[in-house]
Structure 1
């Protein structure tokens, strides 16, 4: 990005061994870091998180996962980012906060950010999901100095994690959150290394929209599999929304040795989106359905759903 370097010159440096550490974060992914800092004995003067909100249709307002964890730890909770700079902290740690930190706050208190990617690849809101969708072979977690510009700060360290063919975005986020939390707490206790500017070509991980999760059955099975592993992949059946919770590709052609069900041979010759038992035809290869969620229902095993659905021959997803 333009003007990255000038914006970093006037920001305060993080002390090598801070002891009084403010914290900002909101979702489940941020909770392991908060707990790791508390367990390591750091003084946490304030935890800034999103305000309580309703998390189900019939429920009352509830605290964010970080807010609930902070209360459990007996820590002071705030919903005002300005408190990150107003509690005498040596620095602040930010993990999946969900809000941009104002430049004047960054100028007042040095801040670290734990980001779930190998920066500068996948700067932005959905780095793990974008890595899976892109078919990346690896992801990771980076500890960087926070800057006013989006995920541009110098990096103290990175930890790489391979992305396996069955890894989901949810599972990878849990792993990165856990390993990142442990490494962050240890590096603050042992002393931070000197940060290095990011190197490489940046890519940007914009937030996923509903259309990013909509399945195009004319795509290859491998592409659709990645959508399913990101979570929330959906299509339509008989004009209604239909979510594929879990499934797997079976790309072997008819007659080849594979673990594909017998229906896959028929699906290979069918139009994309056509159902043959629990197998769906794609532009190349097939997807075997495992757990699905029809409109108005909870998640259900694909075999059980098919047994009760009584679909006509040649039924096809939209």
Structure 2
């Protein structure tokens, strides 16, 4: 592989990113004095209770920083940039653009493990003890490019998806700025067998109470775990292991629920059509029949 030659005197960048995890690198590049000629981000989407269209997290930040924003990849070719930087943009870059502009990506895993759109989610869900971040060269194929920099971090038991993403966003920003300061150098080929991190479907995030307590708590840490009670949806926002309880799978006693090998306590929940609430408040208002189970 050849080195990526970016003139230090003229870092003129196109930045491609969409969600919250891509905001910090944008801010740090701007703070470091790197010229960002254009930000390309995902389209405005309907969100919130009012179902009104709103901008992406990256678009909001780019506006604050006074950086031009586009939703069209074709606009990249109009700004005479030296390099493109991608952070969770959400789309593959056409080969025609890559032929004309070198691009690097901040990827939130230790490649080749967890190539794809949801590396942090899959790492937590699989019980990985560590993960990391890579600065990698962008190629036509998904997440196959060589590595310029990488750093490993432990996944702590208390790490939620949000907290882990925040840590890796900061770390990725540091590694990226190191590349700009010291030169990108020669990318090193990925070593090992790849695994793939497809986006989680809504169905995948439904809690299976027959699973182990550890597996269920990992799912809860992702932030979108859910179950059902009396055929209504119940979001499980926070939970913890509960020792010394003897319940059947899915059986609920107050805030305690039986799992495949133990029990958990529901600390915070979101009942269907209602606001987030403490598990105890929810349980106090619950009227259950003896045969009622979570997940049914």
TM-score, scaled to structure 1: 0.88
Moved more, 184-193 or 226-235: 184-193
Deviation at 1:190, TM superposition (A): 2.4
After superposition, the C-alpha distances for 1:217-258 in whole angstroms (9 at most, x for unaligned) are 1111111111111121111100111111110123x4x3xxxx
Q: What value does the CA root-mean-square deviation take over the aligned residues?
A: 1.7
Shift of 1:182: 2.4
In the alignment, is the contact (CA less than 8 A) between 1:14 and 1:110 conserved in 2?
no
Say if 2:6 is the partner of 1:15.
yes
Report the CA distance between 1:57 and its aligned residue.
Answer: 4.1
Aligned twin of 2:276: 299
- Residue 36 of structure 1: aligned partner: 28
CA contact (8 A) 1:122 1:131 kept: yes
Measured after TM superposition, the shift of residue 59 of structure 1 is 4.9
**2:181 matched to 1:189?**
yes
Distance 1:222 1:85 in 2: 48
* Structure 2: stretches of 5+ with no match in the other structure: none
- Choose which of 218, 223, 241 in structure 2 pairs with 1:226: 218
Whole-angstrom distance in 2 between the partners of 1:239 and 1:277:
18
Deviates more, 1:40-49 or 1:59-68: 59-68
Residue in 1 that maps onto 2:139 = 147
Distance of 2:53 and 2:160 partners within structure 1: 30
Q: Deviations over 1:101-144 (max 9, x none)?
A: 00010000000000111100000010000000000001111100
Aligned length: 294
Report what 1:259 is aligned to.
Answer: none
Q: Tell me the equivalent position of 1:277.
A: 254
Instruction: Tell me, yes or no, if structure 1 residue 51 matches structure 2 residue 43.
Output: yes
Per the normalisation by structure 2, the TM-score is: 0.94
Does the Cα contact within 8 Å between 2:161 and 2:223 map onto a contact in 1? yes
CA distance in 2, matches of 1:207, 1:192: 30
2:292 matched to which residue of 1? 315
**1:131-179, Cα deviation, whole Å (9 max, x unpaired):** 0000000111110000010100000011111011121111111111122
Q: How far, CA to CA, are the matches of 1:127 and 1:221 in structure 2?
A: 22
3-state secondary structure, aligned to 1:303: helix
Counterparts of 1:106 and 1:21 in 2: how far apart (Å)?
14
Deviates more, 1:83-92 or 1:225-234: 83-92
Contact 2:254–2:284 (Cα < 8 Å) also in 1:
no
* Alpha-carbon separation, structure 2, partners of 1:187 and 1:154: 14
Judged with a 3 Å threshold, the aligned counterparts in structure 2 of structure 1 residues 285 and 88 are, in CA distance, closer, same or farther, namely: same
Distance 1:16 1:133, change over 3 A: farther
Cα distance in 1 between the residues matched to 2:286 and 2:263? 21
Residue in structure 1 matched with residue 55 of structure 2 by the alignment = 63
Structure 1 unaligned spans of 5+: 1-7, 255-263
